[in-house]
Chain A
Amino acid sequence: MKKILAIGLIAMMSFSLVACGGGSKENGSSSSARIDDPLNFDGASVAVQTGTTAANSINKLKEDQEVDVHEYEQITQGFSDLKLGRVDAVYVDSVVAAYYTNDSKDFEMTWKSDEGEPMAICLGKDNEALFNAIEAGIDTLYYDGTMAKLADKNFGEDFTADLREVTEKPTIPGGYKTIAEGTLTVGAEVGYPPMEYTTEDGKDFVGFDIDVADALGELLGLDVKFVNTSFDGIFAGLEKGQYDCIISAVSITKDRQEKYLLTKPYVSNALCIVTQASDK
């Protein structure tokens, strides 16, 4: 009896030691060096969202540097942890970075990639008719100035400028089919401000993508229904036919272009680093 108790206690103590050891390794290392370039990630703990281009990019950087990468299911939690000092930086799309750093005393953007990674609406390969209709629909939104208005409303600055030159009013081709008749079913990961997020009472979806989807639905004469999906499974959901298209801040990458139909860009974007404000 005493032996069992003693062994139990020893096991317990050694395990708690292991736990503490693991803990100190994970601590947000408060490296004094300013993180103003992905090449300076060495020794820092960085938050990214699973399945995003930022996650892919940082996993490549990890081959040459010691980066303590923390993957989050939602980037909003990454910003909570940045505020609490649990991570040193958040590696994220510039539209989101702008949302968190504009008028914020807590955060600042320390770096923005020169290589643009604009965003597009994504459809399945076999859905060409709807693809053409949506592409023409986006053109129409550019032509009549709706896009600029929506950008101003959601971003405060125009992330849609200079992406498309539409001089003639486009005609929207018909003959497309949607999963549910008369309804455009849109996959989105709601929790990515300012692109798609919920109002403070948690009832309604708002954001740039939501507005764009609604505007497109109006042009195409379809009701719009959103399916809230986590981003790491959003492409699998498209393949399974759970929605007609993804309007969820999808950055254009070669890999995605090979597998899916991506429209021309509708929002300009680039990877960014956000840290705690230095004067804080």
Chain B
Amino acid sequence: MNAFQQIIDWMPTLINATGVTIALSVTSVITALILSVFLALGKISKFKALRYPSTVYVFFFRGTPLLMQLFFIYYTLPNLIPSLTITSRFLAAFIAFSLNVAAYLAEIIRAAIQSIDKGQMEAAKSLGLSYTQAMMLVIIPQAYRRMIPPVANEFIMVLKDTSLVSVIALTDLTFQTKIIASNRASSLVYIPAMIIYLCLTGIFTIVFNRLEKKLSIYE
């Protein structure tokens, strides 16, 4: 009973920190989605001027650890270029996560677009649609649905990867849990923290399932 009381006492602090976890993962995934559409279209573009930068971008952000990107933006950049000092820890984390996640999402979107049968594009073109029209009206609406499961997967990964922000002293759910564990010398706090993570991923899984069903009515 005593342990239960302790867990109840910790809840407000933990839920406060959960706010950072949710805000960071949701904002960065949404920003990354927008960015990644351009990256994906760039990667499958015929023009080298679009294809090469996108390819290099994805190569760089997938090829280096997120932890180091976070360190780089928060600690290294201000030392190289003082005017790029980001004082807000949240903003620094948001930028690092958005840029990193965009690289992964770009590949997901590219795969989804290329999984649509070539005949669709040919048919659209033979009906007199331009490339842009065919993409916007025919290909992307179909690719939408196929993107949802991998995007959901990526989102849940990001939700848990946000625990990396402790390196820049931003207090998210994981760091708050560690702080409580060390201050009170009690490792019981990991139980409510894990339950909160489970609830979060549970909620978002349901949301994505609904979304998938809704978007697949034509299949």
Contact = CB atoms under 8 A, between A and B. Distances in A.
A12 B182 contact: no
A80 interface: yes
A70 B169 CA distance: 6
A19 B169 contact: no
A83 to B, nearest CB: 9
B153 interface: no
Given A1-B141, A16-B27, A51-B183, A81 B169 contact: yes
Contacts of A235: 185
A28 interface: yes
A50 B178 contact: yes
B183 to A, nearest CB: 7
Interface in A38-94: 47, 50-51, 55-56, 59, 70-73, 77-78, 80-81, 84-86
B90 A22 contact: yes
A11 B27 CA distance: 9
Contacts of B187: 236
Contacts, number: 83
A8 interface: yes
A233 B78 CA distance: 31
A11 B34 CA distance: 13
Nearest to A72: B169
B179 A232 contact: yes
A171 interface: no
A16 B26 CA distance: 10
Contact of A84 (B34, B78, B169, B185): B78
B88 A24 contact: yes
Contact of B75 (A8, A24, A80): A80
Interface residues on B, range: 20 to 34
B101 to A, nearest CB: 14
A235 B23 CA distance: 33
B166 interface: yes
Given A232-B179, A236-B187, A73 B90 contact: no
Interface string B23-38: 1001100110010000
A259 B186 CA distance: 13
Given A71-B179, A232-B181, A28 B27 contact: no
B127 to A, nearest CB: 19
Given A19-B27, A77-B169, A232 B87 contact: no
B169 A47 contact: yes
Interface string B44-63: 00000000000000000000
Interface string A261-278: 000000000000000000
B23 A19 contact: yes
Interface residues of A, number: 39
Contacts of A19: 23, 27, 90-91, 94
A33 interface: no
Given A47-B169, A50-B179, A84-B78, A12 B30 contact: yes
B203 interface: no
Interface in A204-245: 231-233, 235-236
- Most chain B beta-carbon neighbours within 10 Å: one of A12, A19, A80, A84: A19
A18 interface: yes
B87 A85 contact: yes
Q: 10 closest Cβ contacts across the A-B interface?
A: A23-B88, A232-B182, A51-B182, A15-B27, A70-B169, A23-B91, A27-B87, A72-B169, A22-B90, A12-B30
29 contacts: A8-B30, A12-B27, A15-B23, A15-B27, A16-B27, A19-B94, A22-B23, A23-B88, A24-B88, A26-B90, A47-B169, A50-B178, A50-B179, A50-B183, A51-B182, A59-B183, A70-B169, A71-B179, A72-B169, A73-B166, A77-B169, A81-B169, A84-B85, A85-B85, A86-B89, A231-B182, A232-B179, A232-B181, A236-B187
Given A19-B23, A70-B89, A77-B167, 10 more contacts: A22-B88, A22-B90, A27-B88, A28-B87, A59-B183, A71-B175, A73-B166, A80-B75, A84-B78, A232-B182
Interface of A: 1, 8, 11-12, 15-16, 18-20, 22-24, 26-28, 47, 50-51, 55-56, 59, 70-73, 77-78, 80-81, 84-86, 231-233, 235-236, 255, 259
